[in-house]
Structure 1
Amino acid sequence: MRDFRVLEPKSLLNYALVGSPNSGKTTLFNALTGMRAKTGNYPGVTVDRRVGSLEVDGHCVQITDLPGSYSLQAISEEEQVTSGYLRGELGDNNLDGIIFVADATSLSRSLPFLLSILNLNIPIILVCTMIDECKARGGDIDFFRLKAELGIPVVGVVGNKGLGITDLKQFFIDPHSWKTTSVPSFDSIEKRFEWADKIFNKVLRHPISESNLTRQIDRILLHPVLGLIVFLAFISIFFQSIFTWAAPAMDLFSEWVSQFANYCAAALPPGFWTNLLCDGIIRGVGAVLVFVPQIAVLFTLIFFFEASGYMARAAFVIDRLMGWAGLEGRCFISLLSSYACAVPGIMATRSIPSPRDRLATILVAPFTTCSARLPVYAVLISAFIPDATLWGPFTLQGLTLMALYLLGGVSAIVFAAIFKHGLLRGASLPFFLELPPYRFPSFKTIVVQVVDRLKVFVKDAGSVILVGSIVLWLLLNFPHHEYNDTLTKTQNKQQQIEQSYAADLGHSLEPIFDPLGFDWKINIGIIGSFAARELMISTMAQVYAVEKDADNFVGFAKVLSQEDENGVRPISFASAMSLLVFFVYALLCLSTVAVVKRETNSWRWPIFMLTYMFAVAWVASFITYRLALA
């Protein structure tokens, strides 16, 4: 039992937000605090605790959003965080009360968890979310009777519309008024569920009907064959959209970057600092930020299908395929998150209860094609794959992009199977997943989520790219080569690059990468991509595009696609295909290495990942290069 503080006016009130996954907990957290946390329809969305604050009648209220959990008997790591926090095992939390969140449409499933928390003897308030959806499905819950049966305050809200939020905030002022009734303590889970059913039957005036439309849709989406066909069609449209929808915005942004760099070059006096600003910073950073529209489309589609309820069903369908690899559906959720970025995808593996399954997922997550690879794919596909329409909206370029994504995903499953049947052999835990009802996503919520992700990309990746672009420009321009009046401007630039420190680094790697068709210029880009994969493009732009004075993304792609007077391209088709495959497999991301070290608490597995993924990338690229030459 905990001791509670005597509150003074304007004191800090500390609450924990608790609930099962898909209960609307994080949406309520956003509505209360104004903070923007990722929301979705499957376990593993909120992995770390998130803290927000608000002021109510002069009191500062702090709310901790705990990971979604089904019970205090923790299985997964995220459930251990919730259980440990509520039991006071994660430091001095000084909890004044608990805000327990339950979905009104599935209240009976949340009551057993609520009973176990009531036994902690901490002031608690029950918040029933999605009451509008409950009423729309014919349900009618007697909240006054529910309050009397539980002996605690009960509030109904609609988090995404702000309904009931004001009434809820008034309860935060005095948590000691939340009377906690004496509740039974059951040793068996069966008796706990019997108690929950008894309470639920007392307060339910009209039953909540299941939508006929939901049943009909699920007959298709959850079908062993039809569901897989729909999933493959979904993936096809998904990646086709990423490549085609963002193209106009990318071209426009690329032109703006070019015009701005030219304007600065004309307005500023010629010299070292002007060249650094225009060529190193503006064009270097701009060559990567031009892909923001593609990344925006990627995140928009992911968040839309998460919020709609389809993503959980995709995990259910793909669970059969994951089972072949010795994994379960929750692993698919982490792998799918890695398609945006491997870092949050690896962190999301905390929701996987089996340590072996979790480690296997971590080891293969970087195979999935993260958004940082998009710039490399987009440039090489635009330059070497014809923009031909094959059927309807499907183009050869879009299908090539999809093939690269699928290659990474299939490889992840194959290597997971190898690890699970060899290095990490062991029994898996049962897989269960709550299928949320279909919902039309909130446009505002999706926009907020996409903007937040883009801010993270621009801030985190942009800062690394800025430093990397400056360092790269210095390596390309030193030691300084004296300007030769007998040569053209382009020839002088090319001679400067060939005699630079960067060229020396590129040549030193030729024994390793020459069998893959990579010359010293591509090697420079690979070096830069270890800091950030996106740097590959700004590097290649500075090294290759200078030959034709191309100063934007469109011009750079054209440079790679054009032949010189001898009929030779800057990069051959075989080398380009080899480079694409290399980027599918190679672990070129220091952030991923760092997060794997943190999640495994050892350098053993990051070093193992770097080694085996480089070996796979080298062999696959070598085979691709030889086949392309044949």
Structure 2
Amino acid sequence: MNSTTTPTSSMGSPARSGIPLRTRPLSIALVGNPNTGKSTLFNALAGTRQKVGNYPGVTVEKKTGKTRLADGREVELIDLPGTYSLAPRSPDEMVAVDVLLGREPGEPRPDLVICILDASNLARNLYLFSQVRELGLPVVVALNMIDLAQRRGIGVEIAELERRLGVPVVAIQANKGKGIDALKARLATALDHRDTQATALPPLEVLPTEVRAEVEGVVRALDQVGHPLPRYLAERLLLDPHGQVQRELLEQGEPLAGVLEQVHQARERLKQVGKPVPAIEAMARYEWIGRVLDGVVVSTTPASEPPADAQTTAKVDWSDRLDRVLTHRVWGSLVFLLLMAVMFYAIFQFAVVPMDAIDSGFAWLGDRFEESLPDGALKGLAIDGVLGGVGGVVVFLPQIMILFMFLTILEDCGYLARAAYLADRLLKAIGLSGKSFIPLLSAHACAIPAVMASRVIEERRDRLATILVTPLMSCSARLPVYFLMAGAFLPREGWNGWLQPLAIFSMYAIGWGVAIAAALIFKRSLLKGPTPPFVMELPTYKWPSPVHVVRRMIEEGLRFLRRAGTLILAVSIVVWALLYFPRDAATVEAAYRTEIAMLEQALETLPENDPQRASLQERREELDTIIEGDYQRSSVLGRFGRAIEPVVKPLGWDWRIGVAALASFPAREVVVGVLGVMFDAGEVDAGDEVERVRLGESLRQAQWPDGSPLFTVPVALSIMVFFALCSQCAATLVVIRKETGGWKWAGLTFAYMTGLAYLGALITYQVGTYGFGG
């Protein structure tokens, strides 16, 4: 490729980010196959100096960092998505190519590329390297997992490999930090000679002469119509009949129709080579790889030991035997379910202590504000708005860190690929791949880390489908609602005492059933397309790096706080304001002022040991609760609740239940506290069973204006079904927005789940009341 080709930011347009080399920081891109340790190397180089975002218009994560080289220079690192080749099939896969060619808006072309190769699987990894070399960028090879290769009896003649590839090669062990200093030194040297290395190297002529000639013809045809492309993209246009480059040109319409016709004719001519066009490239590159590795990869078995083949077989037999169990249809599934149950249990149980500590910490802060601030809007904002909002976000942090601890351990040791393979057999029937199972399972603890865990799914359609149905899994935030309604309105003793656990289990079953149906619908409509065959290279088993595990936990925890913290806090403050204002004390407290004055005077005059004090104090607190309820009823949200009562009445709800559902949007568990205020039960801790029982008694006594009971078994079940299916979690929607790159998919999630929740609650109440007589 001509290295002087002007980078473009879109098909044929100059790059908007073109910055003169001398005025911007030096940058290095990391590329490599999945499971080669690329992210581990990035973490080893960048440490905590990392930033994470999304490239514009796609869901691909943009991960950058900084490192200091051996000579003291600071350079920027760009961690590109793991890929087996630079043959993009979608906009997401196009990102790596665009970055390397300097075509990505706001992302200058890298000065150098680190190509990470697995020393035990060079034949596979050199395919990607051969494509990177064609881009005309200086390259340094990081030969990773050299220890695994040695244990498998595989030796690599590094000096000879470096000579044949024509680029520096450094042996490293990224998970233990070995070879990192040597790599930094070679990077510094390569950057010093970056202007001459690429041009000094002879072109990597891997493809047959016929293909190279046709590529030149495509380049000339594009130039003639005023739509120049880098030579590598012209090559991709020719060799990838259904690739992203061709799709982008098709979107240009008539002006490029002639060029596409010439490309079609060129492909017809190439068929005379005797192979399908896509196969020409694969065969040519692997032939080149065979020549490069001949004599470079050697056996390290001593002469006194068995032959190299026998030695290698003996050393990997333990891995094969383990795979026969872990990937077995029956035994593998049992091990898989056991591990998932352990992870599920840990996310629920191990997080209890830190979550309680966080709750206690925010409660302590709330008490301090209660004591130090005067009554009024500022006090309410500080306690209910700010502390309530921040606490509602931070409390999820332990679950997120525990989830990613398990995911990182399972991924690093090589098991996650086996788990995805097993789950694929079950999920492919509904259009999802095996990689969707872990996000769906972990969503029972919390949908927020589950949505984030869907990053392991490379295929965009499958990833979006998984994200869209993940919030349907009943998370721990729904449990207070389930426990409250089931405990208050279903019997817990006698022959039908099993109804409570059955009702709660049914909520989980409803979530899975609706998720399966929704996934089928999405994969046959908005995300239509065949489920791609589940092809995954099973990585070698290895011990996870504790440093990497801890770093990943901290990284994901901080990322969650940055992503979800700000918006959920803003939403909490808005909801608080809607429930607080207008605060017309003269009107609301007028009816109770006389009684309050009498009670306070009596409490001041009665001795501390007088038996009447307890009942008077209880009445005084009861009046405070009633007044607070009146404030809520007269608030903006309370008035809106009265306005929407005709909408929620078919569900068996009155305006108070409707307001509680609206107010629970920041977090589902908020509904328990709001119900406590709306039904004059006082403040209710969702985790306190005694307070839930007190609230249950208040709910049982609630009535419609005509005196009939407001809450019945069908009403309780309709509330449970609504919260099982609704998307009342602002943090989840915010994370979906961040993970998908826009509000479109988050809005769709909210809309379809809210519709399903309303329909489910309507059917539950109407059938329960009129079908079975209430």
Given the two structures, how large is their TM-score scaled by the length of structure 1? 0.82
Q: Does 1:417 align with 2:520?
A: yes
Deviations along 1:173-199, whole A, 9 cap, x unmatched? Answer: 232275745544124212321332343
| 2:519 is equivalent to residue 450 of structure 1 | no
> Which residue matches 1:85?
99
Report the Cα distance in structure 2 between the residues aligned to 1:551 and 1:222, rounded to whole angstroms: 48
- Of the structure 1 ranges 539-548 and 270-279, higher mean CA displacement relative to structure 2 is found in 539-548
Whole-Å Cα distance in 2 between the matches of residues 491 and 94 of structure 1?
A: 65
Change (3 A) 1:468 1:80: closer
What displacement does 1:327 show?
A: 4.0
Tell whether 2:262 aligns with 1:160: no
Q: How many residues align?
A: 606
Relative distance call for 1:602 and 1:8 in structure 2 (3 A) is closer
Residue in structure 2 matching 1:303, options 386, 400, 408:
408
Output one character per residue of 1:335-386: Cα deviation in whole Å (capped at 9) or x when no partner: 679744576467776x31xxxxx44652552321389x74532423554568
In structure 2, do the counterparts of structure 1 residues 14 and 601 end up closer, same or farther at CA, with 3 Å as the change threshold?
closer
Counterparts in 2 of 1:114 and 1:623: CA distance versus 1, 3 Å: same
User: In 2, Cα distance between the equivalents of 1:580 and 1:566?
Assistant: 15
Partner of residue 36 from structure 2, selected from 2, 10, 23: 23
1:110, CA displacement in angstroms?
0.4
The code of the aligned residue for 2:754 comes to F
**Alpha-carbon distance between aligned partners in 1 of 2:378 and 2:354, rounded to the nearest angstrom:** 30
SS at structure 2 position matched to 1:479: coil
Equivalents in 1 of 2:176, 2:186: separation in Å?
Answer: 19
Distance in 1, matches of 2:165 and 2:187, equals 19
Where does residue 50 of structure 1 map in the other structure?
A: 63
Q: CA separation of 1:468/1:456 partners in 2, compared to 1, >3 Å: closer, same or farther?
A: same
- CA–CA separation in structure 2 for the residues paired with 1:537 and 1:274: 22
SS class of match (1:441): coil
Match of 1:95, SS?
coil
2:432–2:466: 8 Å Cα contact kept in structure 1?
no
Partner in structure 2 of residue 322 of structure 1: 427
Q: Which amino acid aligns with 2:297?
A: L
Could you say what the CA RMSD is over the residues aligned between the two structures, in angstroms?
4.2
Show the counterpart of 1:43: none
CA contact (8 A) 1:284 1:538 kept: no
2:580 partner amino acid = N
The whole-number CA distance in structure 1 between the counterparts of 2:359 and 2:741 is 42
Change (3 A) 1:260 1:120: closer
- For residues 76-121 of structure 1, the C-alpha deviation after alignment (integer angstroms, 9 at most, x for no partner) is 4443211232234335734322110112222221012212222333
Q: Does the aligned pair in 1 maintain the 2:37–2:174 contact within 8 Å?
A: yes
Matches within 5 A, 1:543-562: 543-544=675-676, 547-550=680-683, 552-555=685-688, 558-559=691-692, 562=695
- Name the CA shift for 1:301/1:568 in 2 (closer, same or farther; >3 Å): farther
CA contact (8 A) 1:342 1:370 kept: no
Cα distance in 1 between the residues matched to 2:372 and 2:624: 19
Are 1:379 and 2:480 an aligned pair? yes
Cα offset, 1:32, TM superposition? 1.1
Distance change (3 Å), C-alpha of 1:122 and 1:297: closer
Query: In structure 2, do the counterparts of structure 1 residues 313 and 498 end up closer, same or farther at CA, with 3 Å as the change threshold?
Result: same
Q: Does residue 468 of the first structure (1) align with residue 483 of the second (2)?
A: no
Is the CA contact 2:29–2:114 (under 8 Å) kept in the aligned structure 1?
yes
- Between the aligned partners of 1:456 and 1:575, the Cα distance in structure 2 is 40
Given that 1:285 and 1:466 are in contact with CA atoms closer than 8 Å, whether structure 2 keeps it comes out as yes
Deviation, 1:153, is 0.9
Secondary structure class of the residue paired with 2:85: coil
State the structure with more CA Rg: 2
Q: Say whether residues 1:500 and 2:635 are aligned partners.
A: yes
Question: Is contact 1:254-1:553 (8 Å) kept?
Answer: no
Structure 1 residues 303 and 399: CA distance shift in structure 2, 3 A: farther
The DSSP-based 3-state class of the residue aligned with 2:162 is helix
- 1:50 and 1:65 in contact (8 A); partners too: yes
1:190-589 matched pairs, under 5 angstroms = 190-206=283-299, 211-283=316-388, 285-329=390-434, 339-341=447-449, 344=452, 351-352=458-459, 358-359=460-461, 362-363=464-465, 365-369=467-471, 374=475, 376-381=477-482, 383=484, 407-421=510-524, 426-480=529-583, 481-482=585-586, 483=589, 484-485=592-593, 486=595, 488-530=623-665, 532=666, 534=667, 536-538=668-670, 540-544=672-676, 547-550=680-683, 552-555=685-688, 558-559=691-692, 562-564=695-697, 568=701, 575=715, 577-588=717-728
CA gap of 1:553–1:213, structure 2 versus 1, over 3 A, is farther
What is the alpha-carbon distance in structure 2 between the residues aligned to residue 274 and residue 378 of structure 1? 30
Determine if contact 1:291/1:375 at 8 Å carries over to the other structure.
Answer: no
Q: Supply the distance in 1 between the matched residues of 2:740 and 2:88 (Cα, whole angstroms).
A: 20
- In 2, Cα distance between the equivalents of 1:234 and 1:396? 30
- Following TM superposition, by how much is the alpha carbon of 1:9 offset from its aligned partner in structure 2, in angstroms? 10
Shift of 1:131: 1.8
Q: Which one is further off, 520-529 or 151-160? A: 520-529
User: What is aligned with 1:618?
Assistant: 758
Deviation at 1:171, TM superposition (A): 1.6
1:105 matched residue in structure 2: 120
Secondary structure in 2 aligned to 1:17? strand
Amino acid at match of 1:145: E
Q: Which amino acid aligns with 1:377?
A: R
Deviation at 1:273, TM superposition (A): 2.1
Preserved CA contact (<8 Å) 2:166 2:201:
yes
Q: Secondary structure at the match of 1:49?
A: strand
CA separation of 1:71/1:226 partners in 2, compared to 1, >3 Å: closer, same or farther? same
2:120 and 2:148 in contact (8 A); partners too: yes
The answer to whether the Cα contact below 8 Å between 2:454 and 2:467 also exists between their aligned partners in 1 is yes
Distance 1:24 1:291, change over 3 A: closer
Corresponding residue SS for 1:317: helix
Question: Which consecutive residues of structure 1, in runs of 5 or more, have no partner in the other structure?
Answer: 40-45, 353-357, 387-394
The Cα shift of 1:161 comes to 1.7
Residue identity opposite 2:755 in structure 1: A
Q: Residues 426 and 542 of structure 1: is their aligned pair in 2 closer, same or farther, counting only changes over 3 Å?
A: closer
How does the TM-score come out when normalised to structure 2? 0.68
Q: How far, CA to CA, are the matches of 1:280 and 1:49 in structure 2?
A: 33
Once the two structures are superposed, what CA deviation does each residue of 1:263-297 show, in whole Å capped at 9, x if it has no partner?
A: 32123334432243234433454355434333433
Equivalent residues of 2:142, 2:169 under 8 A apart: yes
Counterparts in 2 of 1:398 and 1:287: CA distance versus 1, 3 Å: farther
Partners of 2:504 and 2:412 lie apart in 1 by 25
**What is the CA–CA distance in structure 1 between the aligned matches of 2:352 and 2:502, rounded to whole Å?**
15
Q: Which amino acid aligns with 2:573?
A: I
CA distance in 2, matches of 1:565, 1:13: 66
Query: Structure 2: where are the runs of 5+ without partners?
Result: 6-17, 53-58, 209-279, 300-307, 488-497, 597-622, 703-709
- Tell me, in whole angstroms, the C-alpha distance in 2 between the residues paired with 1:442 and 1:518: 53
Given that residues 368 and 405 in structure 1 are in contact (C-alpha distance below 8 angstroms), is that contact kept between their aligned partners in structure 2? no
Match of 1:2 in 2: 3
- The alpha-carbon distance between structure 1 residues 284 and 192, as it changes in their structure 2 partners (threshold 3 A), is closer
> Residue deviations 1:127-171, cap 9 Å, x none?
011222322333322212211222211111122221111111112
